[in-house]
Amino acid sequence: MPNKKPLKSISTGSLVALGLSVSSLYSGLEAAETAFETKEITKEKHQPAKMEGMACGANMNMDKTEMVCGSNMRMDVTGMVMYENKEKLPKDCKAISEDVTLEVKAGIDHAKPYPGTVFGLSDHEWEVKPCSRITVEFTNEDEIRHQWMIHGLPKYLYPEGMFHIEVNGKGKKTGTFIVPSSNYTYLVHCDIAQHMEKGMKAQLKVGTGRGDLPSIPGISAAKFADSF
């Protein structure tokens, strides 16, 4: 076979050399990534919002009053709102384009229209304009914890790129955040174990969005279909 010869001509030495150069390239990339991460972390350290959020653990009174941890976390025995942002504009937004209120209900009753799911949300998709300020009114109709959690927001405004409402049992919590200008599809879910896998997955499209995420009840098929 004609293509056997070139294979033979690659000696162990050259393979080792190739391995070394690939690994040095990799470690170079890794160093660059680490440098980037360090920069990101350094930047985040200067975010007062995050420090305020982290600093208030010691004085928690879980019995009665809602506790406010800086501007970033409100919590009481019924739940919490984390990394709220009502005022700070994303760098790419000159102004708030519009104020939107999303009324979202969570509970097992909302799973009924979608076979194979157990937990549900009243809506699985929302569309907003770029640079919208979004207020989520999140009502939990079950006796267990549920969350409305969004990922992928800019980390210089939202620690871990996240905004999060949690309601422990029946009740309602409201929180606000501002999205950037890019067309993007953000993941929204409930992070309690198996709740997303069993139906509590949704998407927020900003502008034209960027396609549909997989496994959104009523909207998109699973990435890996069941074999049964």
Q: What is the contact surface with Cu ion in residues (CB under 5 A)?
A: 146, 190, 192, 195, 200
Rounded-to-10 torsion of CA 149, 210, 202, 112: 180
Do residues 170 and 140 make contact, with C-beta atoms less than 8 angstroms apart? yes
Query: Which residue's CB is nearer to Cu ion, number 96 or number 192?
Result: 192
Burial of residue 127 (number of CB atoms within 10 Å: 0-12, 13-18, 19+): middle
- Cα separation of 54 and 82, whole Å? 11
The SS3 assignment for 191 reads coil
- Cα separation of 9 and 17, whole Å? 14
Least distance (Å) from Cu ion to the CB of residue 221? 22
Query: Which residue's CB is nearer to Cu ion, number 146 or number 205?
Result: 146
Least distance (Å) from Cu ion to the CB of residue 132? 25
- Closest residue by beta carbon to Cu ion: 190
Query: Which residue's CB is nearer to Cu ion, number 183 or number 194?
Result: 194
Least distance (Å) from Cu ion to the CB of residue 190? 3
Burial of residue 65 (number of CB atoms within 10 Å: 0-12, 13-18, 19+): exposed
Do residues 189 and 98 make contact, with C-beta atoms less than 8 angstroms apart? no
Spell out the residues 6+ positions from residue 161 whose beta carbon is closer than 8 angstroms to its own: 151, 152, 153, 154, 155
Query: Which residue's CB is nearer to Cu ion, number 72 or number 168?
Result: 168
Least distance (Å) from Cu ion to the CB of residue 216? 15
Query: Which residue's CB is nearer to Cu ion, number 133 or number 189?
Result: 189
Least distance (Å) from Cu ion to the CB of residue 148? 9
Least distance (Å) from Cu ion to the CB of residue 172? 15
Query: Which residue's CB is nearer to Cu ion, number 150 or number 190?
Result: 190
- Helical ranges in 69-188 per DSSP H: none
